[in-house]
């Protein structure tokens, strides 16, 4: 899939130049740490010196495997978890600062949350659900009714106001959850894996809906997921999180095409890995032969023993008579509609064949057992020192 490139990270929409006060929603997390103690008595760093800024109108995705600290970071921003040290600001307001000891309670933070499967109250109507955060903040009845009606109308779910969540569709529930998060109107929305419990087809639709809403309302969001495709589709920028740390922060294109480490490269998208040795600038000797890569790629490696990481789209089948091709055998083939995928076992003289995945045009599917010749484009592959693996 193609990473999205849209305008949400446009610096002209940054909150830093605007007037301070209401409407200022730039989130700034600095040097945040949070340690938990395990039942066994040992301590464990769930957030390890994390700094991250989210500009106004941006949707920043925290992407990482389960247990890497994503939820803990969101809960710290929301005020549901008190960090050990660091600071959290929203616009010109300090939400948390370990130096001054300031800890704002959750209801004073102007932070909306959208949880897994939306967590709407089943016994409350749509209107009551959306009014809930306003009630928590002590907003009076008349003002509450006005703001709830206003946000429901904007989200085109005004006719659902008196329904209960159990009686409306998944897409409508998502709108209600978003309305509840947006109703306070002046902060940031935190999403914690809202789509992880819905099936794949609905998930794709709801993802598009979130994108459309973000475009229409321009809200600022910090969005947690472990699903790299979801991250690519939604993010203005992705923060790749591992073991409580931010390993890379960049646009979807950055983290996909220019990952800072083998770990990040493996986590974002599918990766074919070939062990090898740099023998000249831009040339790596591997079990399947010499690979030509960009000279800059081998220059960046810190030692001669490397892993060449290629994406399925870096490979193609060679035309008859085309030179510099590697030979192999198709072991699996899948027609995926707009593209095809082949699993190929590349011949490795004197060693086991090396399997890799090749993605290409949907036409020309090769059957398993077919002998093929494959070519690698020189400008895609990444080279990492093997000891960094």
Ligand X SMILES: Nc1ncnc2c1ncn2[C@@H]1O[C@H](COP(=O)(O)OP(=O)(O)O)[C@@H](O)[C@H]1O
Total interface residues for Mg ion by CB under 5 A: 1
Does the protein bind Mg ion through residue 72 (CB under 5 A)?
no
CA–CA separation, 283 vs 298, rounded Å?
8
103 or 205: whose CB is closer to ligand X?
A: 103
What DSSP letter does each residue of 92-142 carry, written as one string?
TEEEEETTTTEE--GGGS-EEEE-GGG---TTS-HHHHHHHHHHHTT--HH
Q: For residue 29, give the 3-state DSSP assignment.
A: strand
| Interface residue list for ligand X (CB under 6 A) | 36, 46, 64, 66-72
Q: Which of 71, 214, 228, 286 binds Mg ion (CB under 5 A)?
A: 71
Query: Residue 34 binds which one of Mg ion, ligand X, none, with CB within 5 to 8 A depending on kind?
Result: none
Residue whose CB is less far from ligand X, 176 or 190: 190
Q: Which residue in the shown chain puts its C-beta closest to Mg ion?
A: 71
Q: How far apart are CA 244 and CA 347, in angstroms?
A: 41
- Cα–Cα distance measured from residue 260 to residue 256, given in angstroms and rounded to the nearest whole number: 10
Cβ-based nearer residue to ligand X, 131 or 235: 235
Tokens of 291: 């690979």
Q: State the binding partner of 132 from Mg ion, ligand X, none, CB within 5 to 8 A by kind.
A: none
The burial class, CB within 10 Å (0-12 / 13-18 / 19+), for 119 is: middle
Question: Least distance from C-beta 359 to ligand X, angstroms?
Answer: 29
**Considering beta carbons, is residue 25 or 71 the nearer one to Mg ion?**
71
Query: Which residue of the chain is nearest ligand X when measured via CB?
Result: 71
Q: How far is the CB of 21 from ligand X (least distance, A)?
A: 32
Q: Which lies closer to ligand X via its Cβ, residue 54 or residue 357?
A: 54
C-alpha R_g of the chain = 25
* Partner touching 79 among ligand X, Mg ion, none, CB below 5 to 8 Å by kind: none
Q: Which CB atom, from 68 or from 188, has the smaller least distance to ligand X?
A: 68
Q: Which is nearer to Mg ion, 71 or 236 (CB)?
A: 71
Minimum gap (Å) between residue 350 Cβ and Mg ion = 47
H-helix segments, the chain: 70-78, 126-136, 141-154, 170-182, 200-217, 228-234, 252-257, 262-267, 295-300
Half-sphere exposure of 35 (CA within 13 A, CB side): 7
The interface region with Mg ion, picked from 51-59, 71-79, 98-106, 163-171 by CB under 5 A, is: 71-79
* Among the listed residues 197, 177, 179, the one whose alpha carbon sits nearest the alpha carbon of residue 117: 197
- Smallest separation (angstroms) from Mg ion to the CB of 225: 9
67 binds, among Mg ion, ligand X, none (CB under 5 to 8 A by kind): ligand X
CB of 46 to ligand X, least distance (A): 4
Cβ 9 to Mg ion shortest distance, Å: 25
How many C-beta atoms lie closer than 10 Å to residue 294's C-beta? 17
Name the phi and psi angles at 161, rounded to 5. Answer: -50, -40
Give the nearest distance from C-beta 280 to ligand X in angstroms: 42
Residues found near Mg ion in the complex (CB under 5 A)? 71
């Amino acid at each position: 899939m193609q990473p999205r490139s849209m305008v949400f990270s446009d610096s002209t929409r940054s909150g830093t130049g605007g007037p301070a006060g209401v409407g200022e929603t730039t989130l700034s997390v600095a040097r945040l740490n949070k340690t938990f103690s395990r039942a066994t008595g040992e301590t464990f760093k769930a957030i390890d010196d994390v700094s991250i800024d989210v500009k106004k109108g941006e949707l920043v995705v925290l992407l990482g495997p389960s247990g890497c600290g994503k939820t803990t970071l969101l809960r710290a921003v929301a005020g549901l978890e008190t960090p050990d040290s660091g600071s959290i600001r929203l616009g010109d307001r300090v939400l948390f600062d370990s130096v001054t000891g300031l800890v704002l309670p959750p209801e004073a933070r102007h932070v909306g949350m959208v949880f897994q499967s939306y967590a709407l109250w089943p016994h409350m109507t749509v209107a009551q659900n959306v009014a809930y955060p306003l009630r928590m903040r002590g907003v009076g009845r008349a003002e509450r009714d006005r703001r709830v009606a206003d946000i429901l109308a904007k989200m085109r779910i005004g006719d659902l106001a008196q329904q209960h969540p159990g009686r409306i569709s998944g897409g409508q529930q998502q709108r209600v959850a978003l309305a509840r998060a947006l109703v306070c109107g002046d902060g940031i929305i935190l999403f914690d894996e809202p789509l992880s419990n819905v099936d794949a087809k609905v998930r794709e639709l709801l993802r598009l809906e979130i994108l459309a809403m973000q475009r229409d309302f321009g809200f600022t969001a910090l969005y947690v997921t472990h699903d790299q495709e979801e991250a690519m589709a939604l993010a203005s920028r992705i923060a790749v999180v591992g073991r409580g740390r931010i390993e890379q922060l960049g646009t979807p294109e950055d983290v996909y095409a220019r990952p800072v480490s083998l770990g990040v490269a493996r986590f974002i998208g599918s990766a074919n890995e070939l062990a090898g040795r740099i023998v000249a600038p831009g040339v790596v000797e591997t079990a399947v032969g010499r690979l030509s890569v960009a000279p800059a790629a081998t220059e960046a490696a810190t030692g001669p023993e490397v892993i060449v990481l290629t994406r399925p789209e870096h490979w193609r089948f060679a035309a008859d008579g085309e030179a510099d091709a590697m030979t192999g055998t198709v072991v699996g083939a899948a027609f995926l509609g707009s593209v095809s995928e082949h699993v190929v076992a590349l011949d490795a003289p004197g060693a086991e064949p090396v399997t890799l995945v090749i993605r290409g045009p949907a036409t020309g599917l090769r059957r398993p057992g077919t002998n093929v010749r494959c070519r690698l484009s020189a400008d895609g592959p990444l080279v990492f020192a093997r000891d960094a693996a």
